[in-house]
Structure 1
Amino acid sequence: MNEKADARTRRLDLAARAAWLYYIKRHTQDEIAADLGVSRPNAQRLVALAISEGLIKFRLDHPLLKSMELGERMRERYGLDTCEVAPSGDGQSERAGVALLAAQFIETLLASPTPQILALGTGRTLLATVREVTSMDRPDHKVVSAVGNLTRDGRASPYDVAIRLADRVGAQCYPLPLPVLTDTREECEFLKAQRGYGIVDALVRDADAEVLGVGSIGATAPLLIDGFVTPDELHQLEAAGAVGELRSHPIDAAGTLIDDAVTRRLTAVPPVSRPRRPTILVAAGRSKLTALAAALAGGYATGLVIDEPTAVRLLDGRP
């Protein structure tokens, strides 16, 4: 019994030496075999033994480690397929880091040789994302906007990202040239009954993937600042429990779509909970915390691109 124990100890000592030579000294397996006086296959087995016996402790020493760990925790917490966290402290803004990562997702989708349909929301972070997408020529792909791009007085939104992305990648573009919010419910229903709206609506629902921004509700709400709703309408939405919006559709803290006199005048295609296709939310900054938490609670995404400080606050439950 002692002889067996001694033999095992000697073999583990040899395995440790083999592992040291391989991982620290960067020796080849032939060099390890020569140094230890064993055959090359035996040198391979010794390195494998060191791994199986836990003699090697792996540590990743890289600035991205914290971001990768946060992404994994976010995936587990919110049941996401993917979560990319933009690291902080690299001299760029939170939005810039998120835009770079979100642009990579769009580029990967559009690199497909098979025709793809990409649905888009709107917003400042999405606009920054589109600016980071590499120019390419993809005439068989389609880019469609799920959100109207006009105010009620006819002014165009500066954050209509579908047209900008389509120009950048040479794709077919299907904008939604309608006011985000109409004056009456009857006007809204009339516009949505038009053939052009039906085409866009079908493309959004049939899209292969979607990238959405997340909007806050309150004094700094994009819907208010950009002139799509009046202060009175915003107050009505807040009174109904709205804490954020997706595709201009307000949601409450549980992620439930608000259904009231204001939202019944929205022309945007409503977001879908528990989507079957890749649906990526992009959000940056502390102001998006409440809205983002609601969107995740409602299950509107399969993936998320977020900045590191916001991810930490979400996981810690901090406002």
Structure 2
Amino acid sequence: MAAKPGSEELAIDLAARAGWMYYLGGMTQDHIARELGISRQRAQRLVARAVADGLIGVRLNHPIAACLELERALKARFGLSLARVAPALPEGMDPVKSIAPVAAKEIERVLKNTDALVISLGTGRTLRQVVDEMPVLDLPKHKLVSLIGNAARDGSATVYQVIMRLADRIGARHYPLALPLNAESEADRDFHMGLRHVQTALKLARECDMAFVGIGDVSHTAPMIIDGFIDREEIDALLARGAVGEIVGWAFDGDGKYLEGGSNARINGVRADTAGTPVVCIAAGENKYKALAAALKGQLITGLITDETSALHLLA
């Protein structure tokens, strides 16, 4: 068991947390004082210390002890090779704002590896915010490949464009799948997958060194139905078969088992495979709890970047 932090360590933790709330959460010092149960004057001093001691600039540079403990617990409980936990923002605030800078820092660490890597990517709002937190880097040695088609059935492109935005940030070659996420039929899917340029991307995706993905719930308010990738009838069919979540479009049940057939048989893309590749999921928030719990149970991911509230729920 880790030693209990001393008073100075606790003070530094508190300063880091106050700085995170002020600069990332956009909270006033009065609000921070109420959240932390301290005076406004102390909140002001803590925020000032966070900057003066270099604990936070655009990013948090001090690992809060409570987050480190949760990271250790997640790795031990679920056999994860990587766990990163961001400080929780107050209730009602978007948790993606908290996890995006932490995830961006982790991706930057991976990309600064001296070896040339092939990185596969999912898509979605969370990953887009993560990429928007990335600094501009000169890393043309890497290759980026999409795990999934990036268009709706009517041909409209997704607004997220994660792979192209990241490629622009780091100057890397990228291989998007210029296809609908779901084909109209299995025959159409087979035709799409046989196209020469698609085969090139698929080969890279299957042989990638690491994957970064989000996770989605399966419901009538899920992003994949709102964004036009799947229709209500297909969602009803997935729910009837016990689906609770999806990773790059592939639906899975409460035991973390991918469903066979149905809409899964028409996905233009590659399933994120943990058999030989680290698959890091970036997700937080109440609507992700059920999907995350199932993905961890079924070992569909090998790494998790989340926030304190989500980590506590998963460990409870």
Scaled to the shorter chain, the TM-score interval is 0.7 to 0.9
1:201-245 residue CA offsets vs partner (Å, 9 max, x unmatched)? 111111111111001110221110100001001111111111000
1:158-213 residue CA offsets vs partner (Å, 9 max, x unmatched)? 12311110011100010011000111111111111111121111111111111110
The separation in 2 between residues aligned to 1:57 and 1:267, in whole angstroms, is: 50
User: In the alignment, is the contact (CA less than 8 A) between 1:99 and 1:125 conserved in 2?
Assistant: yes
1:62-98 residue CA offsets vs partner (Å, 9 max, x unmatched)? 2412111111111111001121111124797410111
Match of 2:117 in 1: 116
Match of 1:69 in 2: 69
- How many residues are paired up? 260
Q: How does 1:211-230 map to 2 (within 5 A)?
A: 211-230=212-231
User: In the alignment, is the contact (CA less than 8 A) between 2:89 and 2:98 conserved in 1?
Assistant: no
Matched, 1:279 2:274: no
User: In the alignment, is the contact (CA less than 8 A) between 2:146 and 2:205 conserved in 1?
Assistant: yes
Q: How does 1:229-248 map to 2 (within 5 A)?
A: 229-248=230-249
Match of 1:207 in 2: 208
User: In the alignment, is the contact (CA less than 8 A) between 2:244 and 2:291 conserved in 1?
Assistant: yes
Q: How does 1:1-319 map to 2 (within 5 A)?
A: 59=6, 60-61=9-10, 62-63=13-14, 64-89=64-89, 93-272=94-273, 274-316=274-316
2:107 aligned counterpart, secondary structure? helix
The separation in 1 between residues aligned to 2:216 and 2:137, in whole angstroms, is: 29
Match of 1:4 in 2: none
The separation in 2 between residues aligned to 1:89 and 1:271, in whole angstroms, is: 30
The separation in 1 between residues aligned to 2:230 and 2:303, in whole angstroms, is: 29
AA matched with 1:259: E
Larger-Rg structure: 1
AA matched with 1:75: K
1:35-83 residue CA offsets vs partner (Å, 9 max, x unmatched)? xxxxxxxxxxxxxxxxxxxxx9753422412111111111111001121
1:269-304 residue CA offsets vs partner (Å, 9 max, x unmatched)? 1122x4333321100111000111111112122211
1:166 aligned counterpart, secondary structure? helix
User: In the alignment, is the contact (CA less than 8 A) between 1:86 and 1:94 conserved in 2?
Assistant: no
Match of 2:31 in 1: none
The separation in 2 between residues aligned to 1:171 and 1:90, in whole angstroms, is: 37
AA matched with 1:235: D
The separation in 1 between residues aligned to 2:174 and 2:202, in whole angstroms, is: 13
User: In the alignment, is the contact (CA less than 8 A) between 1:275 and 1:302 conserved in 2?
Assistant: no
2:180 aligned counterpart, secondary structure? coil
1:247-283 residue CA offsets vs partner (Å, 9 max, x unmatched)? 11000011111112322111121122x4333321100
Cα distance change on mapping 1:192 and 1:85 into 2, 3 Å: same
The alignment's TM-score, normalised by the length of structure 1, stands at: 0.78
AA matched with 1:208: D
2:200 aligned counterpart, secondary structure? helix
User: In the alignment, is the contact (CA less than 8 A) between 1:123 and 1:215 conserved in 2?
Assistant: no
AA matched with 2:156: R
The separation in 1 between residues aligned to 2:186 and 2:4, in whole angstroms, is: 64
The alignment's TM-score, normalised by the length of structure 2, stands at: 0.79
User: In the alignment, is the contact (CA less than 8 A) between 2:272 and 2:279 conserved in 1?
Assistant: no
Query: Structure 2: which 5+ residue stretches go unaligned?
Result: 15-63
Cα distance change on mapping 1:194 and 1:89 into 2, 3 Å: closer
Cα distance change on mapping 1:144 and 1:75 into 2, 3 Å: same
The separation in 1 between residues aligned to 2:180 and 2:217, in whole angstroms, is: 19
AA matched with 2:222: A
- The alignment-based identity, stated in percent, is 37
User: In the alignment, is the contact (CA less than 8 A) between 2:281 and 2:304 conserved in 1?
Assistant: yes
User: In the alignment, is the contact (CA less than 8 A) between 1:180 and 1:248 conserved in 2?
Assistant: yes
